[in-house]
């Protein structure tokens, strides 16, 4: 098995204590990579390197265009290594290769390009005062950023944090999820090859509690903590940040509502609704896992939706034809299978789906379940959808907003007025109308309630990864 180390201060290194863990391929259910297992001492070593690179190194002092050139070179290298990077995420967590290589890798490269250009081209406001003073805003880098990532879109979600943090002149310590460590080491190797100075982008592997993750959140030399993961973990990390008064950005869980009105384009609504809940085997924070369908079209929609779910190709994620791979780990499979096994107990009917081979769950469609049932309220994070009929627009909005989460919602209608009216009424960080998963990096991304605190994207990332400074001058 190949070994993947931490990347600290420009070197790929083993853990100080020499500990390792293995990453398991969810398709073969056998270990495929050996990885350095970091603890508090390794995390502290990475923060010290990032601190030194920030306080005395060239990166924060470079012009944005110079940093941008290195980030664009990194994007070129990511594209050139699409096979290795895509295969790493697929073997680590079972995502179909067409998604990891075909979607996540190009989007990761695009994220580095976007934030490099955004930092270079960004404007700031100036305020001429009627006293003759002038005030303007500078966006100075915040310092050392700790980035803690989940396993569902490993490299792509890491790049949403790492790219803006670096583009704005910060130094970074990334802790990837323990289930998906490999692509982060590959990314850090490519960053060095692109010419990034030592200590600017560090990767430390390990677990969360009592391990590298917790140590990063408690280190007073860290200036920003950016976290994506479960809502419960977000609460723990917010508390750790509060102790050092370190600003924390939290992108957490979701239970997306998907509203299909009778006036929708039915074929389009079926196609997007399938993608919204079964992409990445449903392991998507944005999954449209609560599907509300207006009564007039309920039967026809459901027939088509179930047929489309049944037609999905389940198999080896390395096979280009596969649309549904295994779930990411034994533990996660056990959790999702627990929901599948208790559908009848919770009053529902399984129209299609259920347990598949190994760690696979087949696209599972549930009807007849009450809005109050666990399956309709809790984030399952698997290919499982609850379909509930509604009668009126007001009822649809009420059902959609009846959740502690507030990450995203979808709605399908051909009525322009309804589209704007319902989008405004939904409590969600993103509302997609007649589409899903379309992302413009200038737009805010994040959620309300249990879905998090703060937003990522464009100027929203800038606000978080910089210290905005007002300069007031008498001229």
Residue number closest to ligand NAD, CB atom: 208
Catalytic residue among 251, 379, 393, 456: 251
**Of 42-50, 96-104, 174-182, 436-444, which part binds ligand NAD (CB under 6 A)?**
174-182
Helix (H) or strand (E) segment spanning residue 65: helix 64-80
3-class SS of residue 136: strand
Q: Mark 404-443 with x for binding to ligand NAD (rule: CB under 6 A) and - for no binding.
A: ---x------------------------------------
Nearest approach, Cβ of residue 250 and ligand NAD (Å)? 8
208 binds ligand NAD (CB under 6 A): yes
Whole-angstrom distance, CA of residue 217 vs CA of residue 237: 7
Among 33, 64, 177, 327, binds ligand NAD (CB under 6 A): 177
Instruction: Tell the smallest beta-carbon distance from residue 457 to ligand NAD (Å).
Output: 11
Cα–Cα distances in Å, from 139 out to 69, 81, 197, 227, 433?
A: 20, 33, 22, 22, 34
423: helix, coil or strand?
A: helix
Least Å from the CB of residue 332 to ligand NAD: 7
Q: Is 435 one of the annotated active-site residues of the chain?
A: no
Owner of token pair 């400074």: 469
Q: Give the residue from 6, 30, 7 showing the smallest Cα distance to 18.
A: 6
Q: Tell me: does residue 213 bind ligand NAD (CB under 6 A).
A: yes
252 lies in the binding site for ligand NAD (CB under 6 A)? yes
Q: Pick the closest to residue 469 from 58, 67, 120, 142 (CA basis).
A: 142
Q: How far is the CB of 303 from ligand NAD (least distance, A)?
A: 30
Instruction: Specify which residues 20 forms β-bridges with.
Output: 36
Is residue 285 near ligand NAD by the rule CB under 6 A?
yes
Determine which residue in the list 92, 104, 158, 379 makes contact with ligand NAD, applying CB under 6 A. Answer: 379
Please report whether residue 142 would count as binding ligand NAD according to CB under 6 A: no
Question: Is residue 157 close enough to count as binding ligand NAD by CB under 6 A?
Answer: yes
For position 181 contacting ligand NAD by CB under 6 A, the verdict is: no
Which of 285, 379, 393, 456 does the annotation list as catalytic?
A: 285
- Binding of ligand NAD by 453 (CB under 6 A): no
DSSP state of 104: I
148 binds ligand NAD (CB under 6 A): yes
Residue 379 appears among annotated catalytic residues = no
Kindly report the number of other CB atoms within 10 A of residue 10's CB atom. Answer: 18
Please choose, from the candidates 179, 227, 195, 202, the residue with its C-alpha nearest in 3D space to the C-alpha of residue 333. 179
Tell me the C-alpha distance between 182 and 438, whole Å: 27
Tokens matching residue 319: 């096979």
Element (H or E) spanning 364, and its range?
A: strand 361-367
- The verdict on 183 binding ligand NAD (CB under 6 A) reads no
C-alpha to C-alpha distance for 270 and 274, rounded to whole angstroms:
6
If one asks whether residue 464 binds ligand NAD (CB under 6 A), the answer comes out as no
d(CA 202, CA 187): 10
Positions touching ligand NAD (CB under 6 A) are 148-152, 157, 175, 177-178, 207-209, 213-214, 217, 228-230, 233, 236-237, 251-254, 285, 379, 381, 407, 447, 451-452
Residues marked as catalytic: 251, 285
């Amino acid at each position: 098995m190949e070994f993947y180390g931490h990347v600290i201060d420009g070197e790929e290194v083993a853990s100080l204590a020499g500990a390792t863990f293995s990453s398991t391929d969810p398709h073969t259910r056998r270990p495929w990579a050996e990885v350095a297992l970091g603890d508090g001492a390794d995390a502290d070593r990475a923060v010290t390197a990032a601190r030194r690179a920030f306080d005395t190194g060239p990166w924060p002092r470079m012009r944005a265009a110079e940093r941008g050139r290195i980030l664009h070179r990194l994007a070129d290298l990511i594209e050139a290594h699409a096979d290795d990077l895509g295969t790493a995420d697929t073997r680590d967590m079972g995502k179909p290769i067409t998604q990891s290589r075909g979607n996540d890798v190009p989007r990761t490269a695009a994220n580095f390009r976007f934030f490099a250009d955004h930092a270079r081209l960004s404007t700031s406001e100036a305020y001429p005062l009627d006293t003759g003073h002038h005030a303007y805003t500078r966006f100075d880098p915040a310092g050392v950023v700790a980035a803690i990532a989940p396993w569902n879109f490993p490299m792509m979600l890491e790049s949403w944090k790492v790219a803006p943090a670096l583009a704005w002149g910060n130094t970074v310590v990334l802790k990837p999820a323990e289930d998906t460590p490999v692509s982060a080491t590959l990314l850090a190797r490519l960053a060095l090859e692109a010419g990034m100075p030592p200590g600017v982008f560090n990767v430390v592997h390990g677990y969360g509690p009592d391990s590298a993750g917790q140590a990063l959140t408690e280190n007073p030399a860290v200036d920003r903590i950016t976290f994506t993961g479960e809502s419960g973990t977000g609460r723990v990390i917010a508390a750790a940040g509060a102790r050092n008064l370190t600003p924390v950005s939290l992108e957490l869980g979701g239970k997306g509502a998907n509203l299909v009105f009778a006036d929708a384009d039915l074929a389009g609504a079926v196609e997007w609704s399938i993608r919204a809940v079964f992409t990445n085997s449903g392991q998507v924070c944005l999954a449209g896992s609560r599907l509300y369908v207006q009564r007039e079209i309920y039967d026809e929609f459901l027939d088509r939706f179930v047929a489309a779910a049944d037609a999905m190709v389940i198999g080896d994620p390395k096979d280009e034809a596969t649309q549904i791979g295994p779930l990411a780990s034994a533990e996660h499979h056990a959790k999702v299978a627990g929901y599948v096994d208790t559908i009848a107990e919770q009053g529902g009917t399984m129209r299609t789906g259920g347990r598949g081979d190994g760690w696979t769950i087949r696209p599972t469609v549930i009807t007849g379940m009450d809005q109050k049932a666990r399956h309709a309220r809790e984030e399952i994070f698997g290919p499982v959808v609850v379909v509930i009929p509604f009668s009126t627009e007001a009822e649809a909005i009420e059902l959609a907003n009846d959740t502690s989460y507030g990450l995203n919602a979808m709605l399908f209608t051909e009525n322009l007025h309804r589209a704007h009216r319902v989008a405004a009424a939904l409590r969600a960080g993103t509302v997609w109308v007649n589409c899903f998963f379309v992302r413009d990096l200038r737009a805010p991304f994040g959620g309300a309630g249990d879905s998090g605190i703060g937003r990522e994207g464009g100027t929203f990332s800038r606000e978080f990864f910089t210290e905005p400074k007002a300069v007031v001058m008498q001229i």
